[in-house]
Structure 1
Amino acid sequence: MERPLESLVVRHTRRLPLPSGPAGRGGTAARRFDAALLSVGFTLSAPLLEHLAGLAEETVVETASRTLDTVREMVGDHVAHNVYFKDFPANVPDTFDFWAQCVREALADDAARPDVLAQLSTGVLDLLTLPSYGGYRHTYEEMLAAHEELIAATGDRMTVLHAGGALDEEVTALYLALAGSTTPLGEEALRDLGVLAAHCADGPQPPEIPVRENRAVVNRARLARGAELLVDTVTDVLRLACALSDGDVSLTEPTRLKSLPRPVRRALLAALDAVVAASPAKLADVHAHREQFKRLGERLHPHEYPGRPHAARVFAVARGELEARTLESRVEELLGSGDAVGAARLLAAGAPGRLLRSLDRLLRACPGPGERAAVAAAAEEAVPGVSGRVLLAVREHLRHRTGGPEARRVFVNHRGAAWVTADTRAPLPAAETGRLIAALDAEVLRRLPDPGHLLVDPAVLDVALPLSGKATAAGLGVLPRGSLSPVEGELLRFFVHWTQTERSTDYDLSAVMLDASYETLSWLSYTSLRAVGGEHSGDITNAPAPDGASEFINLRLDAVEGDFIVPQVDLFSGEGFEEVAESFFGFMLRDGDRLGRPFEPRTVRMKSELRGPGRVALPLVFLRGSDGAWRAKWLHLYLRGTPSANRVEDNRATVGTLVRAVVEREYLTVRHLVDLLSGRAAASTAWDGTEPPAGPVTYIGLERPDGLHPDSVVFTPENLRALIPG
């Protein structure tokens, strides 16, 4: 669903575009607006509250209505979160007592009794056939009546909405930031970029669009307006065709290309023709996506355009009628003959980024120290021509290549599917590794801006660098994979909500507790409703629109055994995470003696969309430190699981192996860039939550503080990708 432009600005920037309207006395309405926001964990900044107070009351009320809808959806409060056990977390029964009660109720039901007796005679009973199992037994309003009001506390989450500029200014700024991003965007941000690009096609454009997927989305909008396309490879044209077909512009998944109107066909063929005419060597790029280019040829009808002979060569290569030798084949030929140095020099000249991504293999292919030194020298010379995100990704990779008997390789694809295997590669030599890391750090430092007065919130230092938006799910309070954040509270409560599209769908929220060796100690799930100081809210097996279904797990952290808590969402039956109308996971924190509803929006610390390819979702893991304090480490991973009936009991070994690999991996974090920036900053200060400096600063933190100088440059998780140099 396409969101209004104002909503996009609020979601991506935590800034509210200043509404236009007549002056008036809107102070009372503004204060009511702020009070309503407080109930869902948001508040207006002082300047924003003051501005709204000077507008007409009608304008404030209209703005409040739109904004509240947006923030409620951001935190997950746009749906009614009911629970199976009305008093949850109180009065949750023992699992087997509950199942026995369901059987007794079924035997008392004349319609259900024959089937239940027949099943019992076989010794196997399907819980899903029992009338009282799996569906809500009370209304949402009845559940609310059973819970006392939650009293506000200082530990509740408070997200500040700051004053923005006019709507057009904010929309343009957001478009330029997303389109010009130096790192790939996540699925939601890429979709939002498409909306913004259509609106901003005639306005200011970023000086460069380095990410090819972003370029495809922008080109779709430019094509619709008749503007010049941003194309310099044949693959750019293929990505655009996929965008026009509402397909995968990353080209990871095949797209069923649509039939295209004649003007569009002419434009795409003209773009292909120009690229090949300017650089015939780019025909080699066709091989990477040969089948997709064949399908594109069927849609573009190049035989109808004899005046585009260079475009016709693209499809001749795809069909195998014309040879176009690839750089990869030449590199493989050199490596096959033992010439790793020649392969490195060839890549340095034609594909410096690929050289750095191939460093591990090239160094291991060298027969001796002389060749390794030459490969390292070629890499050093290529570093200035490589994007900042690749420099940082290679830097992170090199720090893990010391080897050892316990070394593991973690593979995660762009959609979050993950698997682990032992790292059997020979370790890289320390001399070359140290030399290359120094070269990478020097180049990144050269590209970083002069920060002036650097002001840093220490809480952001352990956030992993967002080298790709695809390593982070969309949502509120969500951090990139590998990030660490403190968990402050006595009571931890997970929640999952889903709404099926067509088929009856059953998701199961579970949590498994692991010891220091990553072995399972216990778990909470629909098969274990009470354990280790926690409760499960009950199994819901159907989630029709509009209300959907929710499940919760409540944990008292001081009662948890073991060192790790791993929440997971298992697909038992029905539609997958990418098929349902909506699905999201999150967690709340509160003091142990606080009451309230099962779902209280102002206690929500994280709400993350569940959109992945597997049948078992692992959003994050909670780990206990040596000081007894708990922290969260972000996973954003999906296991393949089984086609149906996934249960926490059945995937314990896989989960333990994967969690261990991620927990023990040191990700490159914001701390690394802060250390580099501090060396060139005029001043470097750790922000302690008090009044910020009077002058402009470069601020890096989890939230933008009130009172920053208007000329300050601010980096928070919403735009942290802007800190990655180009």
Structure 2
Amino acid sequence: MGSCAAGPLPEAMRRPGRSKTRVRRFVRLWDHPGMVHRFEPLVIRHTHRLPAPCGPAGQGAVAARQFDAILMSVGFKLSAEALGHLSALSEGTVVDTAVRTLDTVRAMVGDHVQHNAYFIDFPAHVPDTLDFWTRCVSEALTDDASRDSVLAQLSTGVLDLLTLPAYGGYQHTYAQLLAAHDELIAAAGDRLTVLHLGAALDEEVSALYLALAGSTTPLGDEGLADLAALAEHCVDGPQPGEIPVRENRAVVNRARLEAGAGLLVDTVTDVLRLACALSGGDVTLLEPTRFRSPSRAVRRALLAGLDAVVCASPAKLADVAAHREAFKRLGERLHAHEYATRWPHAADVFAVARGEKEARSLDSRVAELLGAGDVLGATRLLESAPGKLFRALDHLLRVCATQEERDAVVAAAERGAPRVSGRVVLSTREHLHNRADPGGARRVFINRLGRAWVSDDTRPPVPEAERERLIAALDAETRRRLPAPGHLLIDPEVLDVALPLSGKATAAGLGVLPRGSLSRVDGELLRFFVHWKQTARSTDFDLSALMLDASYETVAWLSYTALTELEGEHSGDITDAAEGASEFINLRLGAVRGTHVVPQVYIFSGEGFEQVEESFFGFMLRDAEQKGRPFEPRTVRMKSELRGPGRVAMPLTFVRGDDGRWYAKWLHLYLRGTPSSNRVEGNQVSVATLLRGLAEREHLTVRYLTGLMADRATATTLWDGASVPEGPVTYIGLERPEGLHPDSRVLTPENLRDLIPG
């Protein structure tokens, strides 16, 4: 069977043909304009910092001020430090920087496309729905090309609106729409996102790579894609001391393998994830990957990795069962049988996958003990895997028959807490907080793809004494892990932001907050927008807004079937997006009946959210007198990518609070819907049921962690939005204020994941 020795993973895990002593020549990113265009946008999107441009000194003050003015027109602004740095450079350097940065920030806010509206005067002069449809029919009857078809349909009593020439397509150009609207009047409430001055691009890229690779929480799809690009570039530079998230490790391992560096694997699943990454598949292992035929060098590296892991710890063969089919398919691509003698432990992996060798998983052994009523035995076994123990706590406490068993389970959790990741500690704390006597509560299920469904919670409650004891232990463990913050400076607006325990619970975009977060909505007019561009076939997205009362009963809705209501107007239905299409809903918040406004994006026909070339949702806030175009970038408060399963998207909902003010509650959810013809009329009950269930669930927020941090702070101050302390602080807020001491630690939504202890 071969043998193995303690020490580093064998040299065979390196990609042959590359010398391990190879030294890549270090070249500054600024020496390669293509690299600047590739990585500068990543830094700006993730950090809201402008990497310090370098170039010849000069008189760039005028160009820098013009750059700042143009930025303000799309809702961004240079910090004083950034403006000063640019002013000392040559005019050409400033102009080049401005062009690149403007492209980036316009895409961030959704201003990189033309947002036309069906009704040229929207939101003015939007007709009644029935009047509009009647007008479309009348125009079709006067059109020689469509008259006969319309008459034939009318004779049957059923008319397809999509066959009417005037329905579903723009009747004017984007330039004509611009000419029909007055210029936007600036208002104090317009969004202004400050771009702070960063370090040199090389340093910013390296820091961003270390932050993403070393994240203690999983990244979203965009974050993983960005990490892949950064890992390829930074493979020979500084590396994080630890990569705790396995998906991140797979992305980094791909870059390391291609560069001939050693792999970071300590489970057989690490190797499987790497194989998925190499085939362009799903490193989260949620979706099956079609493995490509790898080169001989890659096959050897993967097999050597499996062999080393199992050789060092044969018990890890038990992990194969969780992904049996994937390992079988991988074994076929790796031609594992050809290397059975050289790497026998790797051969064991595929033997287990095929059922030729037994390797019982921990889960099956625990299930067997619980089936026999041996709770104490199951608990002792789970102590060897504290993460699994924490995930099983609820079930264990519910099946305990005696106080002795309950005490043993809680004691095991208390002993295991220091060995569990901070994300699992906090997730368990949140779960237990919501597991008091349910009293008829609903159970909300949300998978890692954002798909949601609700059922009645029929589980008995967790025993109260044990629940409180565990919560106290988890609070103590979290407090122990949090760093001493020194002077803690907190923006009160961030306190109700949910902790980002997973990047999967937050969509990519601007101004986006994690699922469960609450943020205040200030403004008289609330305007939603959706934009999409189809890839290959005609695609019809429909923007709708459902108004519900406090009992989650429908009050009204706005959609292409209800163009006007007391609350506002719909911009009209666009049914094809070959060149891109936009729809809007305009709401007067003071006129809204009820307590909930639920914007939704329905796929009526065509490609899904993950198939279209581009799709995003957002909302704007305006004062009543501001006027302007249907889409004005500096009034955009949030722009979120729509990339998820299902045929109905629910990015967020708006709730009228007890104080009479409106708040956004972030959802990032996708409902299955139907293959075609999804409409708000057919989805009212399911949306109401889901919202009712979500309203009953409380998320851990920044308020919770800052409360624990305050115990160790030298001072705690709520930021008043004006002055900042002179010395270093730990600042937690929605945006970084100007004037902070350079040694301050700054945590904003862009890097709030760093608040989660490891």
Normalised by the size of structure 1, how large is the TM-score? 0.99
CA positional deviation for 1:127:
0.3
User: 2:581 aligns to what?
Assistant: 549
User: What amino acid maps onto 1:682 in structure 2?
Assistant: T
Counterpart among 364, 369, 380 of residue 334 in structure 1: 369
Q: Deviation of residue 574 (structure 1)?
A: 0.2
Superposed displacement of residue 612, structure 1:
0.8
**Aligned counterparts of 2:387 and 2:236: Cα–Cα separation in 1:** 33
The one-letter amino acid of 1:683's match is: A
Q: 1:640 and 2:675 equivalent? A: no
1:530-573, Cα deviation, whole Å (9 max, x unpaired): 0122000000000013xx00000000000010000000000000
> How far 1:362 moved relative to its partner?
0.3
Q: Report how far residue 373 of structure 1 moved.
A: 1.2
Q: Which 4+ residue blocks in structure 1 deviate beyond 4 angstroms?
A: none
Instruction: Write the mapping of 1:174-573 to structure 2, written as runs, cut at 5 A.
Output: 174-305=208-339, 306-349=341-384, 351-545=385-579, 548-573=580-605
Query: 2:656: which partner in 1?
Result: 624
1:611 matches 2:617: no
SS, match of residue 358 in structure 1? helix
Q: What secondary structure is seen at the aligned counterpart in 2 of 1:446?
A: helix
Whole-Å separation in 2 of the counterparts to 1:645 and 1:46: 52
CA distance in 2, matches of 1:405, 1:394: 21
C-alpha distance in structure 2 between counterparts of 1:373 and 1:516, whole Å: 42
Across the two proteins, how many residue pairs are aligned to each other? 723
Distance 2:523 2:44 in 1: 28
Deviation at 1:663, TM superposition (A): 2.4
Other structure's SS at 2:171 match: coil
**AA in 1 matched with 2:42:** L
Q: Which residue of 2 aligns with 1:160?
A: 194
Offset at residue 20 of structure 1 (A): 1.1
CA distance in 2, matches of 1:181, 1:626: 37
Match of 1:53 among 87, 90, 95: 87
Question: Structure 2: how far apart are the matches of 1:139 and 1:307?
Answer: 68
- Distance in 2 between residues matched to 1:475 and 1:663, nearest whole Å: 24
Residue aligning to 2:725: 693
Deviation at 1:403, TM superposition (A): 2.5
- Deviations 1:590-645, CA, capped at 9 Å, x for gaps: 11122100000000000000011010000100000122100000000011001100
- Alpha-carbon distance between aligned partners in 1 of 2:519 and 2:695, rounded to the nearest angstrom: 13
In 1: Cα distance, 2:742 partner to 2:530 partner: 39
Letter in structure 2 aligned against 1:705: P
The answer to whether the 8 Å contact 1:633/1:663 transfers is no
Partner of 1:711: 743
State the distance in 1 between where 2:417 and 2:158 align.
65
What residue number does 2:634 align with?
602
Unaligned runs of 5+ in 2: 1-33
- Residue 599 of structure 2 aligns to a residue whose secondary structure is strand
Q: Distance in 2 between matches of 1:381 and 1:342?
A: 16
Residue by residue, what CA displacement relative to the aligned partner does 1:367-402 show, whole Å, maximum 9, x if unpaired? Answer: 122211111111111101100000000000001111
Aligned partners of 2:426, 2:236: CA distance in 1, in Å?
35
Shift of 1:303: 2.0
Q: Could you tell me whether the CA contact under 8 Å between 1:403 and 1:423 is conserved in 2?
A: no
Deviation, structure 1 residue 111: 1.2
**Residues 651-682 of structure 1, C-alpha deviation per residue, up to 9 Å, x if partnerless?**
00000011111123211000000000000101
Identity %: 73
Distance in 2, Cα, partners of 1:282 & 1:627: 55
* C-alpha separation in 2, matches of 1:692 and 1:354: 44
The partner residue of 1:684 within 716, 724, 728 is 716
Deviation at 1:332, TM superposition (A): 0.5
Q: Distance in 2 between matches of 1:207 and 1:490?
A: 49
- The partner residue of 2:142 within 99, 108, 111 is 108
What's the secondary structure of 2:286's corresponding residue?
coil
CA contact (8 A) 1:568 1:616 kept: yes
Deviation at 1:342, TM superposition (A): 1.6
Q: Report SS of the residue matched to 1:684.
A: strand
How far did 1:689 drift?
Answer: 1.0
What is the Cα deviation at residue 341 of structure 1?
A: 2.0
**Contact 2:488/2:715, CA 8 A, preserved across alignment:** yes
**Maintained 8 Å contact 2:486/2:714:** yes
How many angstroms does 1:690 deviate by? Answer: 1.5
The separation in 2 between residues aligned to 1:310 and 1:89, in whole angstroms, is 68
Q: Residues of 1 paired with 2:222 and 2:414: CA distance?
A: 36
1:150 aligns with 184
Q: 2:164 aligns with which of 108, 117, 130?
A: 130
2:383 counterpart SS class? helix
Report the RMSD for the aligned CA atoms in angstroms. 0.9
The worse-fitting range, judged by mean Cα deviation, of 503-512 and 373-382 is: 373-382
Q: Name the SS of the counterpart of 1:621 in structure 2.
A: strand
Structure 1 unaligned regions, length at least 5: none
Alpha-carbon distance in 2 for matches of 1:661, 1:157:
32
Residue identity matched to 2:351: A
SS of aligned partner of 1:510? strand
8 Å CA contact 1:403, 1:425 repeated in 2: no
Offset of residue 429 of structure 1: 1.1
Q: CA deviation at 1:152?
A: 1.2
**Structure 1 residue 227: Cα displacement:** 0.4
Shift of 1:71: 0.2
Tell whether the 8 Å contact from 1:504 to 1:542 is kept in structure 2 after alignment. yes
Of 104, 107, 122, 1:70 maps to: 104
Q: Secondary structure at the match of 2:315?
A: helix
Normalising by structure 2, report the TM-score. Answer: 0.95
Instruction: Answer yes or no: is the 8 Å Cα contact 2:567–2:593 preserved in 1.
Output: no
Please say if residues 441 and 696 of structure 2, whose CA atoms lie closer than 8 Å, have aligned partners that are also in contact. Answer: no
* Separation (CA, whole Å) in 2 of partners of 1:344 and 1:423: 25
Mapped to 2, the partners of 1:235 and 1:627 lie a distance apart of 50
Q: How far apart, in 2, do the equivalents of 1:25 and 1:405 lie?
A: 70
Residue deviations 1:323-349, cap 9 Å, x none? 111111110111001111221121112
Cα deviation 1:447-470 (Å, max 9, x = unaligned): 111100000000000000000000
Q: Secondary structure at the match of 2:134?
A: helix
